[in-house]
């Protein structure tokens, strides 16, 4: 068999970020204001704060102006809703992102539903999810959009191919299934999840296998068709006393076990992860351009 190709998500993400930077620069050269993103961070969850710093830095590099609005973790739901409404009404703000998770006393659903769908660069609002499902132009959440971009740039054919998505979350599994089965993309899609029986019989049929179930090393060689494209969405912390921080990041795929069986495979880290910020930037530019109004 020909050698497995490891898909370099960092390189693809960098290429997308460069394209966005060029498009932003053209947009500004036409006399338009720089795209503007508002990022709302509630509390000081260390992982969230770190994601938000990453989004800030990448925005600056792409010529996207971002402002981070930090609020105390005790902010009331009503006060946070007011902030969202203020950002909705602010003509200078193109995109709004409320970093999740939110504190327990705040309903994430109520906050997401309050965001103007035309500014919903996360693609979490039900209007955008619904539009995606019926094939209308919509903001698509960053992780599934990033996976489609990786598949496309790796030259992986989808038309008439069997795609199996393991995981049914609202932000990855379900929107990804919708994208893969979209008219024009034309994959045949099966969605499996934690309760699926004899799951390996289904995954073994996959030409494209996407693991987004949140269990380290869940996908093993016996679950993979020879030559399949294997996309790993998992970011799981696994205890590792040999690391200074005490853990390492592991995907949902047992990479070493699957490597020689797959035709293409994404590593963790350095696969799907880096794509998310790149797609957020692209969504922010689209918001500025009024793409989904």
Contacts to ligand GUN by CB under 6 A: 51, 97-100, 122, 142, 276
Looking at the Cβ atoms of 58 and 97, the one nearer to ligand GUN is: 97
Looking at the Cβ atoms of 123 and 217, the one nearer to ligand GUN is: 123
Looking at the Cβ atoms of 115 and 180, the one nearer to ligand GUN is: 115
Give the 3-state secondary structure of the chain: CCCCEECCHHHHHHHHHHHHHHHHHHHHHCCCCCCEEEEEEECCCHHHHHHHHHHHHHHHHHCCEEEEEEECCCCCHHHHHHHHHHHHHCCCCCEEEECCCCCCCCCHHHHHHHCCHHHECCCCCHHHHHHHHHCCCCCCCHHHHHHHHHHHHCCCCCCCCEEEEECCCCCCHHHHHHHHHCCCCCCEEEEECCCCCCHHHHHCCCCEEEECCCCCCCECHHHCCCCCEEEECCCEEEECCCCCCCEEEECCECHHHHCCCCCEECCCCCCCHHHHHHHHHHHHHHHHCCCCC
**Nearest-approach distance from CB 165 to ligand GUN, in angstroms:** 18
Annotation marks residue 55 as catalytic: yes
Annotation marks residue 120 as catalytic: no
- From the list 99, 161, 225, 252, the catalytic residue is 99
Looking at the Cβ atoms of 112 and 151, the one nearer to ligand GUN is: 112
Q: What angle is formed at CA 8 by the lines to CA 5 and CA 11, rounded to 5 degrees?
A: 140
Q: Please state, in angstroms and as integers, the Cα–Cα distance from residue 115 to each residue in 26, 30, 39, 82, 255, following that order.
A: 28, 28, 12, 11, 38
**Nearest-approach distance from CB 233 to ligand GUN, in angstroms:** 12
**Nearest-approach distance from CB 169 to ligand GUN, in angstroms:** 11
Annotation marks residue 254 as catalytic: no
**Nearest-approach distance from CB 94 to ligand GUN, in angstroms:** 16
**Nearest-approach distance from CB 100 to ligand GUN, in angstroms:** 4
Looking at the Cβ atoms of 98 and 272, the one nearer to ligand GUN is: 98
- From the list 122, 207, 232, 254, the catalytic residue is 122
- From the list 55, 119, 174, 225, the catalytic residue is 55
- The residues assigned a catalytic role are 55, 99, 122
């Amino acid at each position: 068999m020909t050698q497995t190709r490891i898909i370099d998500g960092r390189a693809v993400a960098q290429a997308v970020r460069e394209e966005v930077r060029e498009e932003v620069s053209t947009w500004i050269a036409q006399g338009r204001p720089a795209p503007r993103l508002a990022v709302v961070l509630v509390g000081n969850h260390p992982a969230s704060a770190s994601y938000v710093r990453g989004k800030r830095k990448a925005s600056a590099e792409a010529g996207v102006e971002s402002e981070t609005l930090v609020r105390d973790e005790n902010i009331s739901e009503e006060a946070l809703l007011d902030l969202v409404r203020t950002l909705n009404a602010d003509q200078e703000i193109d995109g709004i992102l409320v970093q999740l998770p939110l504190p327990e006393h705040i309903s994430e659903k109520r906050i997401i539903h309050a965001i103007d769908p035309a500014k919903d660069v996360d693609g979490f609002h039900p209007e955008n999810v619904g539009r995606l499902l019926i094939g209308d132009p919509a903001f698509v959440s960053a992780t599934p959009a990033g996976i489609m971009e990786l598949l496309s740039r790796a030259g992986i054919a989808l038309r008439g191919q069997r795609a199996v998505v393991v995981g049914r979350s609202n932000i990855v599994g379900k929107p990804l299934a919708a994208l893969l089965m979209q008219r024009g993309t034309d994959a045949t899609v099966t969605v499996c999840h934690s309760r699926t029986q004899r799951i390996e019989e289904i995954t073994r049929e996959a030409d494209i296998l996407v693991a987004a179930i949140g269990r380290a090393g869940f996908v093993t060689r016996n679950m993979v068709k020879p030559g399949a494209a294997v996309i790993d969405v998992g970011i799981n912390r696994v205890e590792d006393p040999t690391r200074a921080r005490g853990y390492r990041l592991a995907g949902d795929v047992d990479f070493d076990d699957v490597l020689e069986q797959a035709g293409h495979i994404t590593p963790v880290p350095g696969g799907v992860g880096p794509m998310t910020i790149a797609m957020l930037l692209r969504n922010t530019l689209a918001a500025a351009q009024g793409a989904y109004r």
